[in-house]
Amino acid sequence: MVEAEALPRALKLAEGVADNAPPAVRQIKEVVRQRLDALLDSEPRTERHAYPLMFGTADFCEGVKAFVDKLTGD
């Protein structure tokens, strides 16, 4: 990637992230942060910790519904 393209691409990516539910964005940021700190750790503890925190929230349910709707074409 050419350096001149980096900022516009990063801003576009940031806009896409910002369109997501804040609780989900916070959790994925924490997961990424923890995984970067433990790259050599082969056990995915952070994912197992984050998933139950999100499961059952309104945002989680909305995301699942949107995913299923896309699969069924609704």
Per-residue pLDDT, 32: 85
Coil, helix or strand at residue 28: helix
Q: What is the pLDDT of residue 17?
A: 86
**For residue 44, what pLDDT is reported?**
65
pLDDT at residue 43, as a whole number: 59
For residue 39, what are the CA distances in angstroms to 28, 29, 35, 44, 51?
Answer: 16, 15, 6, 10, 19
Q: HSE (CB half, 13 Å, CA atoms) of 49?
A: 11
pLDDT at residue 35, rounded to an integer: 81
Number of alpha helices (DSSP H) and beta strands (DSSP E) in the chain: 4, 0
| pLDDT tens by residue, 1-60 | 567 888 888 899 888 888 888 998 899 889 888 887 776 565 566 677 777 888 888 998
Both tokens assigned to 23: 């609780």
